[in-house]
Amino acid sequence: MSTSTETNPAPRTGAGSEFDRDTAVTLREPGVYDAELSAGWTIIHAVNGGYLLALLGRALGDHLPHPDPFTISAHYLTPSAPGPAVIRTETVRTGRTLSTGTASLYQYAEDGTEVERIRVLASYGDLDALTDDVRTSAVPPAFAPVDQCFSASDGPAPPIPGSSAITDRLDLRLDPACVGWAIGAPSGKGEMRAWFGLADGREPDPLSLLLAVDALPPTSFELGLKGWTPTVELTAHVRCRPAPGPLRVSITTRNLAGGFLEEDAEVWDSAGRLVAQSRQLARAPRD
């Protein structure tokens, strides 16, 4: 996790960070935000779903009285494209410790009409107000050390076939146990694990966790399937403000059946805390 931070000064957050710049939203009127979907977070032609979730999460965090997404569900309706977008938010309920709201991201058809891309329903709270009480037996799965993992520039096969822009913005190091697919020898297990960072050194926060849960190659690659796995729905729980340093992301699939699969992600911070959990339902590749 060092090369890119040596060549780029490490912005913590703010305008100096690619992620913060590309998830910025501008208040147009109460509850309505203008945004620009960056071409920098695309895989082939598709805008990454985790990036979009972070963008919607930022708008909702601005609109609601609580700052942090505790649980956020997104239903992906139509494919997003780089370019202008508008986000419309609505407060559903404001409580003392949690508030609930919806957000919709729209883009514009050729005739100027708005086409809805994503609908989100979320409950926000304040992570800093949580108690320190941890009664969990959860331990991270075994990750190979970073220096034994594979980045986008290693090996003959690109880690994400056909991908381009997003790999430049992520510092993703895939566990060697989960890269068989890249050399035509998938493990047959529905597992994907990687060390995760932002290439410009921007430290993790609740919004970048929303990106992290949907930024790895799909587990279906290791199940021997190629092709695209478009997300139908993704729900993420942010459980703790992540400590600075690299994240570990573990994704598993238990059930690939009937043309659909689930992907369960766990995100661990450098302090060994389980900071986020997510599950998505996606369409399986046709094969």
Q: Does 119 bind a second copy (CB under 8 A)?
A: yes
**In Å, what is the CA distance from 278 to each residue of 24, 111, 133, 207?**
23, 37, 21, 13
CB of 9 to a second copy, least distance (A): 33
Query: Which residues 6+ apart lie within 8 Å of 133 measured at CB?
Result: none
Q: Does 86 bind a second copy (CB under 8 A)?
A: no
Q: Which of 75, 146, 164, 165 binds a second copy (CB under 8 A)?
A: 75
Query: Distance between CA atoms of 80 and 86, rounded to whole angstroms?
Result: 12
Q: Does 21 bind a second copy (CB under 8 A)?
A: no
Given a contact cutoff of 8 angstroms between Cβ atoms, the answer to whether 107 and 115 are in contact is yes
Q: Does 121 bind a second copy (CB under 8 A)?
A: yes
Given a contact cutoff of 8 angstroms between Cβ atoms, the answer to whether 60 and 105 are in contact is no
Nearest CB to a second copy, comparing residues 21 and 75: 75
Q: Does 242 bind a second copy (CB under 8 A)?
A: no
Among 203, 206, 202, residue whose Cα is nearest residue 66? 206
CB of 230 to a second copy, least distance (A): 11
Query: Distance between CA atoms of 250 and 267, rounded to whole angstroms?
Result: 7
Q: Does 271 bind a second copy (CB under 8 A)?
A: no
Q: Does 109 bind a second copy (CB under 8 A)?
A: no
**Which range of residues in 9-17, 105-113, 172-180, 250-258 is near a second copy by CB under 8 A?**
250-258
Give the burial class of 96: count Cβ atoms within 10 A of its Cβ; 0-12 exposed, 13-18 middle, 19 or more buried: exposed
**Which range of residues in 163-171, 175-183, 204-212, 235-243 is near a second copy by CB under 8 A?**
235-243
Q: Does 277 bind a second copy (CB under 8 A)?
A: yes
Among 48, 49, 54, residue whose Cα is nearest residue 17? 54
The count of residues interacting with a second copy (CB under 8 A) is 51
- Which residues sit opposite 36 in a β-bridge? 84
The residues that touch a second copy, with contacts defined as CB under 8 A, are 70-71, 73, 75, 77-78, 92-93, 95, 98, 100, 102, 116, 119-123, 127, 130-138, 189-190, 223, 232-233, 235, 237, 239-240, 254-260, 262, 266, 273-274, 277, 279, 281
